[in-house]
Homo-oligomer: A and B are copies of this chain.
């Protein structure tokens, strides 16, 4: 755990969040500042700063995070209508929390370009 990290604190139930999925290494919760009718964040419990800090040994974990994200899209009934997954790394992308997280957005038509 990174003691200064809000997502680590959510993982350890030291900060409240509207969690909708938990396993031994992945959790998901509703974004506190949603950009669509459905906006969920999927994160690893382990403090990985972003994709640049992940390596080939993390491929299975990251792949399972995407499978979980799709399972949540199905659960929240946005899978068939459509959903966008976004992962931001570093400043130009707007990464605001230095703990790897997948954005899941749906429930409305998304625009192009994607920001």
Interface residues of A (CB under 8 A from B): 35-36, 51-52, 54-56, 58-64, 66-67, 69-70, 73-74, 78-95, 103, 105-115
Among A60, A70, A103, find the residue whose CB has the most chain B CB atoms closer than 10 A: A70
Residues of B within 8 A of A112 (CB): 35, 94, 115
User: Majority SS of interface residues in chain A?
Assistant: mixed
- The 10 A-B pairs with the shortest beta carbon distances in the complex, nearest first, are A82-B92, A63-B63, A59-B63, A82-B90, A35-B113, A114-B115, A111-B115, A62-B63, A82-B93, A85-B87
For A94, the closest partner residue in chain B by CB is B112
Once the chains are docked, how many angstroms separate the CA of A107 from the CA of B59?
Answer: 25
Q: Is there an interface contact between B60 and A86, defined as CB atoms closer than 8 Å?
A: no
